[in-house]
Amino acid sequence: MKQKAFLLLVLAGVFALTGFSQEPAKTGKTIQLKSYHEKFVTADQDKGNQLFADRNNAGTLETFTMIDQGDGKIALKGSNGKYVSVDPKTGLLYARSIIVQDWEKFTLVKISEEWVAFKANNGKFVSADKDNKLILIANRDSVKEWESFMMITK
């Protein structure tokens, strides 16, 4: 009996060390984002899964899962199964992280019933920069038109 109890304690410790959890995975809302410029946000596979707001129509690559991270933060998961992350040096957004850490968390700012903005971990708002090929970049101090996104729930 003592050996079984000891074995269970050892297994519990192994699961804790390896990150194994019996808690269910967090699920989220399936969404698409449309920029002020009337273009859908995509994780462009041909460009290293960098995010752009340059698509006329929304399909699989323009669909994300928004997952609540608590404390008013969310994470976005691309259709490639990777989380959207802000490059800490450039502020550019990519869907290429396998786990959610600080650079994958955003504060969702509700502008209206349909429109939202995303504040990144660097304290900057995400913008669809029309002057730079509609890349998504977290480098704005405030929310104006280019930092506004229509969130379409699927």
pLDDT, tens digit, for every residue of 57-77? 999 999 999 999 999 999 999
CATH code for the part of the protein at 25-153? 2.80.10.50
Distance in angstroms (rounded) separating the CA atoms of residues 35 and 53 = 6
Judged by average pLDDT, the poorest of 12-26, 57-71, 74-88, 96-110 is 12-26
Write down the domain spans for the chain: 25-153
Q: Which whole number is the average pLDDT over 100-106?
A: 98
Asked if residues 64 and 79 have their Cβ atoms less than 8 Å apart, the reply is: yes
Among 23-37, 71-85, 113-127, which stretch is predicted with the lowest mean pLDDT? 23-37
Burial class from Cβ neighbours inside 10 Å (0-12, 13-18, 19+) for residue 83 reads buried
Mean pLDDT within 78-91: 97
Round to whole Å and give the CA distance between 70 and 85: 17
Q: Is the dihedral of CA 137, 140, 142, 146 positive or negative?
A: negative
Nearest-angstrom CA–CA distance, 55 and 53: 6
**Residue 91 reports pLDDT greater than 90:** yes
pLDDT of residue 140 exceeding 50: yes
Q: What is the CA radius of gyration of the chain?
A: 18
114 pLDDT band, cuts 50/70/90, is very high
The string of DSSP codes covering 25-45 is PP--EEEEEEETTS-EEEEEG
pTM: 0.82
Angle at 103 between CA 97 and CA 107, to 5 degrees: 120
